[in-house]
Amino acid sequence: MESFKKNSTSKMDIKHVLSNLLIVFALYLAYINYPSGFQRKIAEGPSFLSQQLSSYLDDNKVNSDPYAASRYRPEEPLYAPLLAIQYGNKEKAEALLAPLVEKGNPEAMFWLAQITYGQSIYSGETAGKLLTKAAKLGNPYAAIKLDSRDIECTQYMGYHCSEEWGEKGRAALKKLASAGDPRAGYAIYLHDTMLKGGYSPTTTVDEESFNILAKAAVDGAKNNYHHPIITLLDIYQRNFGYPIWMRSNESKRDSYLLSDKDREIIKDLYIFMANNNDSYATNIYLYYENSLLETDYIDHQILRMLPIWSNASGYSPVFARKALNDREALILGAAWALVDDFNRNDHNLEFGRQMRKFNHIVTYEFNQKSLDDSELEKAHKISLKLRKSLTPMIYLDENNTGIF
């Protein structure tokens, strides 16, 4: 009997200990996930942006300068090679960048390294040398690319990478950011997220990084550099900084419920970017954020910006919708696809990749009849005129080096 009591007591003690451990664990989880003052600040939304940028948002006029949001302008030496990169013509870009590199242009070295990196198992050495030379000439974006804490550097560029380069680049960028350079501020924010494991819904945005991003967003609005705003709005719309159980998912696109006030502010900011001819924001973000902006408005902006930048996946649905009532819209859309192919191939107009993409979207996604030979001939003639109307912006920059 006494043995039975001891066993029962022992079992009760174990249950008591386990129960206490569970309580402690639950309290710990609640502590690390409970919204801090900073997280609640994020959850308050983008109202501070509308307050600081009210004079910009109140001006609803379309900017008459097609290059307002462009990284480079046509008269600048890097405009042509960057445009070639955007069109995916690396050979042309290399040919245009090479003489600038020989003249000691550190920005040209940065971009030549970007399109060289990853081409083969040996290209990392060439890219590493270019970035190192650019960094020594004072390019902070090249220096920060050489940070050994960044796996993209160590994966291919090996011994060219060092933490010292990362810190040197960061220090130079901080000086630029404090003086109001939004591109530099955004670079610091991206460097922060890289150090924390990369930008994703699970990446923790701490208060210091958030403040850097917020300043870059405000400075960027004043300088027509909108990548920080786009990232900040993404954080707001997904509530990355808030505990998962306090989010309300409104759709399969992982976009969380926003107050009516926040919706209007975000809409105003997207419209502000579109009005300043940021085709990147329009074609990539406005088109997919159609829960916030009306389809008619988005379609109008995409068509308005075609001379600034055409992208078949963006404009094809617009022309397909218009063609439901007017078949001529498909001919015009095909003409833009031909122009797109010409720009990307840098030779005679032909039925290329962009035209095939246009045709696929029109026929398979919108169930429209393919253009016949006479319609294609009309499209070809129109495309010759459209080519003369182009004023493409450069959406690539040191923080956004990807090619669509």
pLDDT tens for 240-270 read 544 444 444 444 444 455 678 888 888 889 8
Element of type H or E holding 16 = helix 2-33
> Residue 74: its pLDDT value, please?
96
What is the tens place of the pLDDT at every residue in 163-216?
Answer: 999 999 999 999 999 999 999 999 999 999 898 877 554 455 678 888 899 999
- The pair of three-digit structure tokens given for residue 344, joined into one six-digit string: 């990307």
Q: Are 334 and 355 in contact (CB under 8 A)?
A: yes
DSSP secondary structure code for residue 326 in this structure: -
DSSP secondary structure code for residue 400 in this structure: B
Amino acid at 285: Y
Q: Are 97 and 112 in contact (CB under 8 A)?
A: yes
Which of 129, 223, 228, 116 has the alpha carbon at shortest distance from 180?
A: 223
User: How far is the C-alpha of 191 from the C-alpha of 214, rounded, in Å?
Assistant: 15
Greatest Cα pair distance in the chain: 102
> Residue 64: its pLDDT value, please?
94
- The two counts, helices (H) then strands (E), for the chain are 21, 0
User: How far is the C-alpha of 258 from the C-alpha of 269, rounded, in Å?
Assistant: 15
For every residue of 43-57, DSSP letters joined together read: HT-THHHHHHTHHHH
Residues of the chain with pLDDT under 50: 4, 31-32, 34, 201-202, 241-255, 290, 404
Q: Are 58 and 224 in contact (CB under 8 A)?
A: no
pTM exceeds cut of 0.85: no
Q: Are 216 and 178 in contact (CB under 8 A)?
A: no
> Residue 149: its pLDDT value, please?
93
> Residue 77: its pLDDT value, please?
97
User: How far is the C-alpha of 109 from the C-alpha of 100, rounded, in Å?
Assistant: 8
> Residue 343: its pLDDT value, please?
84
> Residue 117: its pLDDT value, please?
81
Q: Are 349 and 340 in contact (CB under 8 A)?
A: no
Calculate the alpha carbon distances from 376 to 200, 326, 373, 390 in Å.
Answer: 43, 16, 5, 21
| Sign of the Cα pseudo-torsion (100, 105, 111, 112, in order) | positive
CA angle, 131 then 132 then 136, to 5°: 115
Q: Are 65 and 73 in contact (CB under 8 A)?
A: no
HEC readout, 128-174: HHHHHHHHHCCCHHHHHHCCCCCHHHHHHCHHHCCHHHHHHHHHHHH
Q: Which residue has the tokens 């997904």?
A: 238
- The pair of three-digit structure tokens given for residue 139, joined into one six-digit string: 């390019």
Distance of CA 30 to the CA centre of its chain: 33
What is the tens place of the pLDDT at every residue in 274-287?
Answer: 999 998 888 766 55
**Helical ranges in 204-259 per DSSP H:** 207-223, 227-238
- The pair of three-digit structure tokens given for residue 296, joined into one six-digit string: 């008619």
- The pair of three-digit structure tokens given for residue 146, joined into one six-digit string: 């050489």
